[in-house]
């Protein structure tokens, strides 16, 4: 204690301090002279949407809707519907290539991360947008998958219109394929240059918003000229797509049977759960597919004789894609949508 502070002054100050500490709970506190700056927490994620190469319009539409507050799954459905309704996309929806009987059968599945629910349809005939029907199965039933005639009747009960899904172009391609089936049948052979290959094609879309809400969806007309009733990976939850709102989402396009054998959508999300970046997770799943591929589907050099691609986005908004051979994918990072190059395992043979 210094000489400049009297005992009376010290005792008075001490008493005032004691009175402050003795304020009853709820009493007004003195306003501090300096206030701590407000803390602004960063969002848990940034927007990210990833899709197959035919999904550039889809990721742009999804970004537009999510930015306006639309739910991630509802936005994704509107995105993939662009391809489902496009008669020039022969791998999805209206105008999709038919089965061997000339009938277009469509498959789709979806998952909604926030509610942890899923819906799917398989071998759906006469309905242009199976993505919407899959979402209805998810929202209004205690089931996950409806198939065939039951799926169509379910769609009709919700007001969908039954339509012929064959376009003039897809029907012509089917007729050309029929004429190439064999030398001993009753069909005339078409010129050698018009020999028809089997076509796989699909659209997968995985999206996360700035709240960290994740959804995924895959829709397809499936393998061209397939055996009637065949379903690939697209309507299989855990194969054609998978979503975990704590981790991320992933999906695929390409040879569905090979993906089903490893539950590729689920496996890719599990790789991300263990800390892998989306691109690395996709590559790792492709390696698992290759290890599970029978010799009849491999080339003499041991490389796959088919195509398969995986796409993934994590909860932070990072995205990536990978394929066996060089390919492209569509993505939107919250600033712009663009086509990007997939990571890949092998260069194409010359």
298 dihedral zone (left: phi>0; alpha: psi -120 to 50; beta):
beta
Is 303 within the bounds of a domain? yes
Q: Which conformational region is residue 264 in: left (phi greater than 0), alpha (psi within -120 to 50 degrees), or beta? A: alpha
| CA distances, 270 to each of 49, 149, 244 (Å) | 19, 34, 9
- Is the sign of the CA dihedral 289, 295, 297, 303 positive or negative? positive
pLDDT at 190: 55
Which two structure tokens, joined as six digits, stand for 319? 């995205």
Q: Is residue 58 part of a domain?
A: yes
Q: What is the pLDDT of residues 138-147, one digit of tens each?
A: 999 999 999 9
Q: Please, are residues 298 and 305 in contact by the beta-carbon 8 Å criterion?
A: yes
Give the per-residue pLDDT at 181.
75
Q: Name which of 262, 255, 240, 132 is nearest 200 in CA terms.
A: 255
| Tokens at 100, concatenated | 């061997």
Average pLDDT over residues 150-172: 97
> What CATH number is attached to the domain comprising 194?
3.60.20.30
DSSP state of 304: B
Number of domains making up the chain: 1
Does residue 17 belong to any structural domain of this protein? Answer: no
Phi/psi-derived region of residue 159, left when phi > 0, alpha when psi is between -120 and 50, beta in every other case: left
- What average pLDDT does range 253-266 have in this prediction? 98
Assigned domain for 188 exists = yes
- Who has greater pLDDT, 7 or 251? 251
Is 270 among the domain residues?
yes
Q: Please determine, for residue 291, whether its predicted confidence score (pLDDT) is greater than 70.
A: yes
- What does the pLDDT read at residue 45? 73
Task: Answer whether residue 181 is part of any domain.
Answer: yes
Mean pLDDT of 256-265: 98
Confidence bin at 84 (pLDDT 50/70/90): very high
* 233 falls within a domain: yes
The SS3 call for residue 42 is: coil
CA 198 to chain centre: 24
What's residue 349's pLDDT?
79
For residue 23, is it within any domain? no
Please give the positions annotated as active site: 202
Mean predicted confidence (pLDDT) in 67-84: 98
pTM of the model: 0.85
Placement of tokens 């209004």 in the chain: 140
Structural domain boundaries enclosing 174 = 48-344
Burial zone of 2 (CB within 10 Å; 0-12 exposed, 13-18 middle, 19+ buried): exposed
Structure tokens at 61: 């539409």
């Amino acid at each position: 204690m210094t000489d400049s502070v009297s005992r009376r002054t010290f005792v008075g100050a001490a008493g005032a301090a004691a009175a402050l500490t003795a304020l009853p709970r709820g009493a007004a506190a003195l306003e501090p002279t300096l206030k701590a700056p407000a803390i602004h927490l960063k969002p848990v994620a940034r927007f990210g949407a990833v899709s197959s190469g035919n999904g550039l319009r889809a990721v742009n539409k999804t970004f537009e809707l999510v930015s306006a507050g639309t739910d991630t799954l509802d936005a994704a459905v509107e995105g993939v519907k662009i391809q489902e309704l496009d008669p020039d996309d022969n791998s999805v929806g209206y105008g999709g290539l038919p089965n061997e009987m000339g009938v277009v059968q469509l498959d789709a599945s979806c998952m909604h991360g926030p509610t942890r629910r899923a819906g799917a349809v398989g071998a759906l005939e006469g309905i242009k947008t199976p993505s919407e029907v899959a979402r209805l199965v998810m929202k209004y039933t205690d089931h996950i998958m409806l198939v065939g005639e039951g799926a169509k009747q379910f769609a009709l009960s919700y007001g969908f219109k039954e339509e012929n899904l064959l376009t003039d172009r897809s029907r012509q391609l089917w007729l050309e394929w029929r004429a190439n089936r064999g030398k001993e049948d009753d069909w005339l052979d078409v010129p050698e240059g018009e020999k028809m290959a089997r076509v796989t094609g699909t659209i997968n879309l995985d999206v996360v918003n700035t709240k960290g809400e994740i959804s995924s969806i895959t829709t397809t007309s499936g393998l061209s000229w397939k055996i009637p009733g065949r379903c690939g990976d697209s309507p299989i939850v855990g194969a054609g797509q998978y979503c975990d709102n704590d981790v991320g989402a992933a999906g695929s396009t390409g040879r569905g049977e090979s993906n089903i054998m490893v539950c590729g959508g689920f496996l890719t999300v599990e790789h991300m759960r263990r800390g892998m970046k989306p691109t690395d997770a996709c590559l790792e799943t492709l390696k698992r597919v290759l290890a599970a591929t029978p010799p009849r589907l491999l080339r003499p050099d041991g490389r796959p004789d088919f195509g398969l691609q995986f796409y993934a986005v994590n909860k932070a908004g990072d995205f990536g894609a990978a394929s066996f051979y060089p390919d492209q994918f569509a993505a939107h990072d919250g600033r712009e949508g663009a086509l990007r190059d997939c990571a890949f395992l092998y260069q194409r043979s010359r």
